[in-house]
Amino acid sequence: MQLSLEKIKKLCAEKGCTVQQLLLDAAVSKNALYSLARKKTVLPRSVHAIAKNLNVPASALLIGDSPAEKINDIIRRAAAITVKHRKADPDTIRHTLILLQEEPLARLRRSLLRGRKFNIHQQ
């Protein structure tokens, strides 16, 4: 559970901003970020202690990281959007939210792969 500066930099690049801009917008100081990044874990020591005594990794005590939890979260969010936008197709909303979890290049590859497969079947 270490903070990855590399991941932050990559996400900044994807969003088209610098880390400096990000910190400014998030009202987080550079010192605070680098101090967190130097830590072996960003979780409080007590979480690790509880996990150790349960003989499980600390991540097992957290929610939102497992594939099932992620997909449940997407289904919940898709349902909320469909309630708000009644004419929207629930499948499209859900598929879009799923695709948003992927990198742009992976999304493009999916789209091309299916498009070209479809074309083969048509010929």
Partner 1 sequence: MAENLIFTNSEISFLRELVRQKVEFMIVGLSAAALQGAPVVTQDVDLWFKDLTAAGIKKALKKVSGAYVAPSAINPPMFAGEAVKLFDIVVHMHGLEDFEQEKKNTMRVRLDDFDIAVLSLERIIQSKKVTGRQKDKLVLPVLKDAFTAIKEAAKKQNPS
Cβ 110 to partner 1 shortest distance, Å: 6
What ranges in 1-123 are assigned the alpha helix state H? 5-15, 19-26, 30-38, 45-54, 67-84, 90-99, 104-122
Each residue 92-111 as x (binds partner 1 by CB under 8 A) or -, in order, gives xx-xxx-xx--xxxxxxxxx
Q: Shortest gap between Cβ of 61 and partner 1 (angstroms)?
A: 24
* CA-wise closest residue to 97 among 117, 116, 80, 118: 80
C-alpha span between 37 and 39 (Å, rounded): 5
| Cα-based distances in Å from 104 to 34, 94, 107 | 28, 17, 5
Per CB under 8 A, which of residues 2..41 are in contact with partner 1?
Answer: 10, 13-14, 16
- Return the residue of 28, 42, 61, 113 that touches partner 1, per CB under 8 A: 113
Which position has the token pair 């400096």?
20
Cα–Cα distance, 73 to 65 (Å, whole number): 10
Residues 53-92 that bind partner 1 (CB under 8 A): 77-78, 80-81, 84-85, 88-89, 92
Compute how many residues bind partner 1; rule: CB under 8 A: 35
Residue closer to partner 1 (CB basis): 57 or 104: 104
Applying CB under 8 A, which residues contact partner 1? Answer: 10, 13-14, 16, 77-78, 80-81, 84-85, 88-89, 92-93, 95-97, 99-100, 103-116, 118-119
